[in-house]
Amino acid sequence: MSDWIYNRNGDPTCLLDSDCVRDNSGDVVAWISGRNLYSLDGNHIGWFEAGIFFDANNDVLGFFREARGLPLRPGLSGTPGRPGFSGRPGRPGFSGAPGRPGRGGWSNHDLEAYLHASRRRNSLTRHQS
């Protein structure tokens, strides 16, 4: 079972699929472990709690339809059909989670762009090694 994750504009842009986050093309872009959000290579990039995804500054990136406690709840767009899912990459070891700052408002980052940026940074880091 997968659930759509809505961005600050109320658009469904990513999906939670068990312990991974997929983009709207079905590719894995992040991992969930407990209340922590990790990049594909295991670096901590945020938090997940009560149906809300937070960036590294503890600002809201996205949310599930039923989530409560948002800074300002947007109207929600219709839910698209689920894309085909690509295979899962190997799950990495995860880094430690930093201390969590006080909760802020909406993130300045777009949910999908934030997750893709952590994916690109990780890919560049691997290729430079």
Tens of pLDDT along the chain (129 residues) come to 679 999 999 999 999 999 999 999 999 999 999 999 999 989 999 999 999 999 999 999 999 999 998 988 899 988 888 888 989 998 999 999 999 999 889 999 999 999 988 765 544 444 344
**What pLDDT sits at residue 119?**
61
**What pLDDT sits at residue 122?**
46
**What pLDDT sits at residue 2?**
79
CA distance 82 to 2: 8
Domain that holds residue 8: 2-128
Please give the single-letter amino acid code of residue 29: V
**What pLDDT sits at residue 126?**
41
Domain tally, the chain: 1
**What pLDDT sits at residue 34?**
95
Cβ distance 120 to 64 under 8 Å?
Answer: no
**Angle 43-118-62 from CA coordinates, rounded to 5°:** 100
